[in-house]
Structure 1
């Protein structure tokens, strides 16, 4: 009797092998797609930023006319007073992009990079030498700034600051001239130098 049942079972399995394979595949797929989530997945979904480093804000700086390089320095690219320390402090919490306008020769770009290297700017923690950029026109630096999408743009030209103010969360006008005023917007800062700007607004420069 037992051997007969075993024979019948073997016969049934042989005749229904394809059906059994399909059923097993369906059960496996159902298990993979509908199994309970592993522990802590819910907590990770509720807090997607947990365990990740907070993104650093981007700061673009037009270096000309005394902001980073001393006014009248031409192609010697001497750093303005206090600019080196201000860059160091900014690089500690932000991705700093230096945009130097009116540079048309590769040799001039090499000279400005050499000037920054001599002052140790490329060695500042957080500073990326690849973010030292050049352009030939004011339109070019505005376009660069819009493309980078900074949290703060720093410039010495009031028309550039005014043009970027509607598009950039924070803009700052650097001018030692007493008659030059920052446009009247809530997101526009002003200072006589890059160092003074960092001194005045260091506590609020989280841009969160």
Structure 2
């Protein structure tokens, strides 16, 4: 069996030490014979110092071999299997909980739909006085000749009109050909319940015999908004009224920057 490298190094050191001791003794013998006692003492001290240094000189430290760690594949696999089991078992419940939480968040941050009252205020730009033509806007009929036979309030516009009366000082006006037409219009408005809200009274329903007369009514009242279906009246009032809403089945040419367009009054307020 091969000797340990440490033992071989120790044997080598002993041989060198014995050889040096032998040589030093011979040297001392020669020196004792040829030099004076003072030199002998100095040399002896030097020799002792050399031997002492050799004895106490530390050998090179041995590098320690790192201990091999036993493989822990089994424990790792166990941990992985355990984690996989936990994840799979909790996946369904966590998924359902996440979906429920997301639904709550979505419902909470869902934009709130504005009410009709808020839309009316926004669309009318906080206007406080409004004038409105009846034919083609509030009534199904579109010309004075039809009013000689009947007057019908459009059911789709009723809710918007009642909301406007709550917020604004509303005046309704129309050109009629006879007194009977005027009576038919007032009766139709009353039966529709427009006067029951308290915002509109019969005295605020105005009648005239010409289109120019209706335009004159509007200028005298000085409303913030005028709602009209006749493009000629719209053009006449563009310089005098702050805002106008032109009601027309088809999009007309815009007559001024303060004139807006819609197919109906309820469509303008987003009710259809």
TM-score (norm 1): 0.63
Q: Any residues of structure 2 matched to 1:171-190 within 5 Å, and which?
A: 171-178=244-251, 180-183=252-255, 185-190=256-261
Q: Secondary structure at the match of 2:167?
A: coil
* Structure of higher RCO (CA pairs closer than 8 Å, 6+ residues apart): 1
Q: 1:98 is matched with which residue: 162, 172, 193?
A: 172
How do 1:40-189 residues align onto structure 2 when only pairs under 5 Å count? 57-64=128-135, 66-72=136-142, 74-75=146-147, 76-101=150-175, 103-178=176-251, 180-183=252-255, 185-189=256-260
Alignment of 1:185-204 (within 5 A): 185-199=256-270
Q: How many residues align?
A: 142
Which consecutive aligned stretches of 4+ in structure 1 deviate over 4 angstroms post-superposition?
Answer: none
Query: CA contact under 8 A between 2:157 and 2:265: conserved in structure 1?
Result: yes
1:125 Cα deviation from its structure 2 partner? 3.7
Partners of 2:240 and 2:158 in 1: CA distance? 28
CA distance in 2, matches of 1:132, 1:196: 23
Can you give the 5+ residue segments of structure 2 that lack an aligned partner in the other structure? 1-125
Q: Which structure is higher in helix share?
A: 2
How large is the Cα RMSD of the aligned pairs?
2.0
- Equivalents in 2 of 1:92, 1:155: separation in Å? 20
Structure 1 residue 199: deviation in Å? 3.0
| Per-residue deviation, 1:80 | 2.4
Distance 2:258 2:238 in 1: 7
- Higher alpha-carbon deviation: 190-199 or 140-149: 190-199
The 8 Å contact of residues 156 and 266 in structure 2, kept in 1 or not, is answered as: yes
Between Structure 1 and Structure 2, whose CA radius of gyration is higher? 2
